[in-house]
A and B are shown apart, each in its own frame.
Chain A
Amino acid sequence: MSVLFLVESVNGQVKKNSFEAASYASKVAAQLGTEAIGVALGTVENSALAELGEYGATKVLHVTDASLDAFDSGVYASVVAQVAQSAGANVVVISQTSLGKAVAPRLSVKLQAGVVPGAVALPDTSNGFVVKKGAFSGKAFAYVKVDTDVKIVGLVPNAFGAIKGSGAATVENATANIPASGVKVLEVSRATGDTLPLPEAELVVSAGRGMKGPENWGIIEDLANVLGATTACSRPVADVGWRPHHEHVGQTGVAIRPDLYIAIGISGAIQHLAGVNQSKVIVVINKDPEAPFFKAADYGIVGDAFEVVPKLTEALKKFKAAQ
């Protein structure tokens, strides 16, 4: 018996959401009276893997084959399934990243294991295995019961948080049959910079049509920079090309749940709110006091973004300097 979690890496480094997955898995393991074991694929530094112990993992099984550096959902699901079987996993935790979303359903079929995609809390194991997940694009939650022997939890990034303690995980090499890849990865390009990609970001500064044009995004970026926040936008802004598509949040864009979401010049249409209303704290800056977004906000400023945002940036600079 064990709780397995999938470790994701970029350029040999463990991704932030994997520390969260480790924390989550170790809590589930405690509930079930067993241990949390990581499974890492491809080239990853062993020291980085050992660090997962600080988040509750006892062991990390590392399938080192370099061909696993290129992602294919079929190959990954096969390797994870083999490791899950040899580790006697009864729960597999996978972060709902672009990679995890492709692996979890394939693994579900392979292991005949029910999967709960979009989990936001620990399972209730008092009567079976029931996991709370987001549904209706942030407008509701569903409690999903998993009726199979093996259970897969697709954990929403930043829903649970990484809980750092102490301890080191032992890292062991593991072997698996690696099937032929169904795809040939030609290129992987990641925006350089030190801000986190949207789904993982804890702080997000987002702006909408109220900004009037792409040339005015400087003040948005300045604000994001002082905070170390990631930028986002409303759908029409991405549709007309003022901002890249991957910044579009909402019901038909990325769904996020950062610790802080600052919405500037966004009206707060129901489809926009659906993707952001799980944010822990929402700040709205809008010149229209009747903007629906204020109803979903924790803090608000009724004012002109072109005046308020630079002032807020200055105030935050002073605050940061005094820290």
Chain B
Amino acid sequence: MKFLVCISLVPDTTTKISFVDNDTKFNNDKVQWILNPYDEWYALVRALELKEANGGTVTVINVGPAANDQVIRKALAIGADDAIRVDGADDLDSFGVATNIAAVAKDGGYDIILLGKETISYNGSNIGGMLAELLDQPFVSLATKLEVSGNTATASREIEGGKETLEVNTPFVLSAAKGMAEQRIPNMKGIMSAKSKPLKVVPAVSAPAYTSVVKYELPPAKAAVKLVSPDNVEELVTLLHNEAKAI
């Protein structure tokens, strides 16, 4: 079975977010880039587990510049067999990224394409659905579980206050959420072998931009906390009712 895992790079979760150029660009000065947690912990690891159980290959794909290679190699260190990086298109919107992944996937014969449920930078939850539509495949979103037997898969997905279980035939696209797998820390052998695993660079295809970010903004600073004595919780109730109007 052939798996394709879409991996994105995001600022480390502890990053203090700031902007430059009149708040039109993310300030990437001193930012440490990591694999998007949903892509790494859930999509990639589940693909590896299924490959280990049933055989096959796991390819990771990233649409981004050469500077990404070092982080892409981390996915190889965790266990992916090879990587593809789509080069030469900066500042793509979701549709541009999806179009480029679709262009690679179209003739790749992948049985299951996995993504993270969203990037922790753009919070789009966009690319999986777009990719599925571009490839005319079923889309299982926000999946917390995936079992495969032959060309049939059973998956669970998060729905508000519960879960849905469904059956789907390959090929299909799936976005992975928490519950799917456990994070894997690459070991020394993985890190060493990652250096010699293939990382193929392919040129980007052009795609119209549907959207563009025109400005960023930080949330307004919070006023100082109002402390209430633990012996006077009634005061908190009064404040929540009269002042905050929250209850």
Is residue B179 within 8 Å, beta carbon to beta carbon, of the partner chain? yes
- Least Cβ distance of A136 to chain B in Å? 5
A264 vs chain B, min Cβ distance (A): 13
- CB-CB contacts of B121-149 with A at 8 A, as 1s and 0s? 11111111110111001111110100000
Min CB distance B97 to A, Å, is 11
Q: Could you tell me the distance between the alpha carbons of A295 and B125 in the complex, rounded to whole angstroms?
A: 30
- B contact face: mostly helix, strand, loop, or mixed: mixed
**B226 engages A300 (CB within 8 Å):** yes
**B119 (CB) vs chain A CBs: closest residue:** A137
Can you sample 9 A-B contacts with CB below 8 Å? A73-B129, A105-B127, A108-B95, A117-B124, A139-B17, A182-B139, A260-B244, A280-B246, A299-B240
- Tell me which residues across on chain B come within 8 A of A133, comparing CB atoms: 123
Chain A residues with CB under 8 Å of chain B are 71-74, 77, 96-99, 101-106, 108-110, 112-118, 130, 132-148, 182-191, 196-200, 203, 227, 238, 245-246, 248, 251-253, 255, 259-260, 270-271, 274, 277-278, 280-281, 283-284, 294-304, 307-308, 311-312, 315-316, 318-319
Instruction: Name the residue on A nearest B154 (C-beta).
Output: A186
Whether the pair A303, B166 counts as a contact (CB closer than 8 A) is no
Task: Tell me the bound Cα distance from A146 to B95 in angstroms.
Answer: 12
Closest to B38 in A: A252
* B184 smallest CB distance to A (angstroms): 15
Contacts of A182 in B (CB 8 A): 137-139, 168, 172
For residue B247, which residues in chain A have a CB less than 8 angstroms away from its CB? Answer: 203, 227, 260, 316, 319
Binary per-residue interface labels of chain B (1-19) against chain A in the complex, 1 for a CB within 8 Å, 0 otherwise: 0000000000101100101
Interface-forming stretch among B52-60, B65-73, B105-113, B206-214? B206-214
Q: Which residue of B lies closest to A72 (CB)?
A: B138
6 nearest interchain CB pairs? Answer: A182-B138, A105-B129, A303-B230, A197-B161, A114-B210, A190-B162
User: Given A227-B247, A297-B225, A300-B227, are A188 and B159 neighbors across the interface (CB < 8 Å)?
Assistant: yes
> Are B225 and A295 neighbours in the complex by a CB distance under 8 Å?
yes
Contact B129 A135 (CB under 8 A): no
Q: Tell me which residues across on chain B come within 8 A of A312, comparing CB atoms.
A: 233, 236-237
Determine the chain A residues whose CB is within 8 A of the CB of B167 once the complex forms.
183-184, 186
Contact B165 A187 (CB under 8 A): yes
Contact B225 A189 (CB under 8 A): no
Instruction: Please give, as numbers and ranges, the residues of chain A lying within 8 Å of B227 by CB-CB distance.
Output: 294, 299-302
Q: Given A140-B216, A252-B120, A299-B239, verify A284-B37 contact (CB < 8 Å).
A: no
A134 to B142, CA, bound (A): 19
User: Is B160 an interface residue when CB atoms closer than 8 A count as contact?
Assistant: yes
Q: Which residues of B contact A281 (CB under 8 A)?
A: 240, 244, 246
Known A-B contacts A105-B128, A105-B130; A188 and B211 likewise in contact (beta carbons under 8 Å): no
Asked if B218 is an interface residue, CB under 8 A from chain A, the answer is yes
**Any chain A CB within 8 A of the CB of B87?**
no
CB distance from A74 to the nearest CB of B (A): 6
Query: Which residues of B are found within 8 Å of A187, using beta-carbon distances?
Result: 164-165
